[in-house]
A and B are shown apart, each in its own frame.
Chain A
Amino acid sequence: MTLTHPEGTVYGQVGDATVPLRFTDLSAEYKVLRDRAVALDLSGHTLIEISGPAAVDFAQRVLARDVEYLTSERCMMSLVLDDDGRVVDQVLAFGREDGLLLESSVGAGARLLEHLRAVADDDVEIVDRSADLTVIGLEGPYAWGVVGRLIDGELASLPFEAVSDTVWNDVEIIFARTGFTGEYGYQMIVPVESAADLWQATLEHVTPSGQEALELAMLEVRQPIPRLETAGDVNVIEIGANWLVDVTKDEFVGKEAVLAAFESRQGLRTVGFSGGDTVPEPGARVLAGGEDIGEVVFAVRSVGLGTTLGLARVESGLAAAGLELTVEGADVTTLTSPYIVPKSWSIPII
């Protein structure tokens, strides 16, 4: 943990990171995220620097999307896969002058670092930058206004996944337009020694939101949550994260396995569902017309929908919206994504 939070903050262990799950109340934090803007403590995301003469070639080999021409003014979300096509992590890759900076998903830094070092070439240097850099996020339909008040209004209107090296309070930071929830989103990569000051300055404009509200909002727009969706022997196709893999790329670790899974047309597929008063555990059986067709991946209580919201992995012929299924005796309905339409889609940046 890089940032200090008030007494009463509820923390949880997510992978290798201890993160604030909620600062006050999930419902309140969620509503502020969807209606206004929140600050996010993303210090559970590990930053890994890849440099050296073969840095770009290496990144091109280990990332499932094409980063060959990723300049220092761009970032990109991509999966990192193993040889079997299983998800190692979902990363944000930042182009840098001397290589790339990878941001892990929450709590997945150690696993990602271990994988990268295992497949690295001799002329690539892989450095964990967590001790000297951390990440603070902003998310919400009016997050752009916070950027204007906090740093510079010009940065608010950067295109999606654009990056700018900028200065806040005489401190060099990497600023990026990103987003996990379908709302306007920004990230600030800041030196650890200045992180507390930037966090406090951010809190002069917005309230913080914890991991629970963030993940609920991610689920609502089908933004993959690796720690909850990739457990077990599942492949990219079954997860439905195809868009984080570029199969037109010549080569990358896991490509053959992913293509084999895609071409087999076999296996399960993931679909969202809502309904029921209780929240089923991962692995709960999903029934269609009384027959077992799959299992719950994970589910939560949705503040926005006022009912249970979750993902199920079911046989592909039944992975479609608008079906009435049963989970642990409760009637549920499969859904069309996004399950909640982000307010940012109808609010321009001004």
Chain B
Amino acid sequence: MTIDELRAKAAERQQTCSQIKKMIVSRLDLEVEPDWITDDQPLFGRGLELDSLDVLELYVAIEAEFGVALYDSEMAVFGSISRLADEVNPRLRAAA
């Protein structure tokens, strides 16, 4: 792959991650700027410190925003923003 193709591929993931961060900040009414959250940041316990109620809120928000139902998914999909991006944008996972 050329560097331009790699940049385009990275940009698609970063765009999806950015969309997820904005959704989380908005839905959970967080005080931080969305970009302050890193793609690899843990979401539960450590990191963003979300709890099980936040997960329920995120299930609803993700389905509304991305049309993806995660209700039966393992907690691993919430391992990081980037991991969540793989779920809501399957093209990222297929290309990985």
Report the Cα distance A77→B79, complex, angstroms: 19
A222, A322, A333, A346: the one contacting B42 at CB < 8 Å is A222
- The interface bits of chain A over 317-349 (1 if a CB of B lies within 8 angstroms of the residue's CB, else 0) are 111111111000000010011100100011000
Interface residues of B in 35-86 (CB under 8 A from A): 35-42, 45-48, 74-76, 79-80, 82-83, 85-86
- Cβ contact within 8 Å between A322 and B9: yes
A77, A221, A321: the one contacting B13 at CB < 8 Å is A321
> B81 → chain A, closest Cβ, in Å?
9
> B76 → chain A, closest Cβ, in Å?
4
Main DSSP-derived SS at the A contact region: loop
Known contacts A289-B3, A337-B40, A337-B82; A320/B48 CB under 8 A: no
**Total A-B pairs, Cβ < 8 A:** 111
- Cβ contact within 8 Å between B42 and A320: no
* Chain A residues positioned under 8 Å from B38 (CB to CB): 240, 242-243
Task: Name the residue in B6, B31, B36 with the highest tally of chain A Cβ atoms < 10 Å from its Cβ.
Answer: B6
- Cβ contact within 8 Å between A337 and B10: no
Number of A interface residues in the complex (CB < 8 A): 37
A180 to chain B: closest residue by CB: B46
> B20 → chain A, closest Cβ, in Å?
13
> B88 → chain A, closest Cβ, in Å?
13
B2 to chain A: closest residue by CB: A289
B3, B11, B17, B76: the one contacting A341 at CB < 8 Å is B76
- Cβ contact within 8 Å between A322 and B79: no
> A180 → chain B, closest Cβ, in Å?
9
- Cβ contact within 8 Å between A341 and B79: yes
Known contacts A290-B3, A318-B6, A337-B80; A242/B40 CB under 8 A: no
* Chain B residues positioned under 8 Å from A341 (CB to CB): 74, 76, 79
- Does A131 belong to the interface (CB within 8 Å)? no
Report the Cα distance A337→B76, complex, angstroms: 10
- Cβ contact within 8 Å between B46 and A77: yes
Interface residues of B in 1-42 (CB under 8 A from A): 1-7, 9-11, 13-14, 17, 31-32, 35-42
Report the Cα distance A4→B6, complex, angstroms: 51
- Cβ contact within 8 Å between A345 and B74: yes
Report the Cα distance A160→B52, complex, angstroms: 13
Report the Cα distance A10→B31, complex, angstroms: 46
> B85 → chain A, closest Cβ, in Å?
8
What 5 A-B pairs come out closest when comparing CB atoms?
A289-B3, A322-B96, A320-B10, A337-B40, A320-B13
A-B contact pairs, 18 of them (CB 8 A): A179-B46, A182-B42, A221-B42, A222-B41, A223-B46, A248-B32, A262-B35, A289-B5, A290-B3, A317-B11, A318-B6, A319-B10, A333-B96, A336-B82, A336-B83, A338-B76, A341-B79, A345-B75
Interface, chain B (partner A; CB < 8 A): 1-7, 9-11, 13-14, 17, 31-32, 35-42, 45-48, 74-76, 79-80, 82-83, 85-86, 92, 95-96
Known: A222-B80, A291-B3, A341-B74. 20 other contacts (CB 8 A): A223-B46, A240-B40, A243-B41, A243-B47, A248-B31, A271-B40, A289-B4, A289-B5, A318-B3, A318-B6, A320-B9, A321-B86, A322-B96, A324-B6, A336-B80, A336-B86, A337-B40, A337-B80, A341-B76, A345-B75
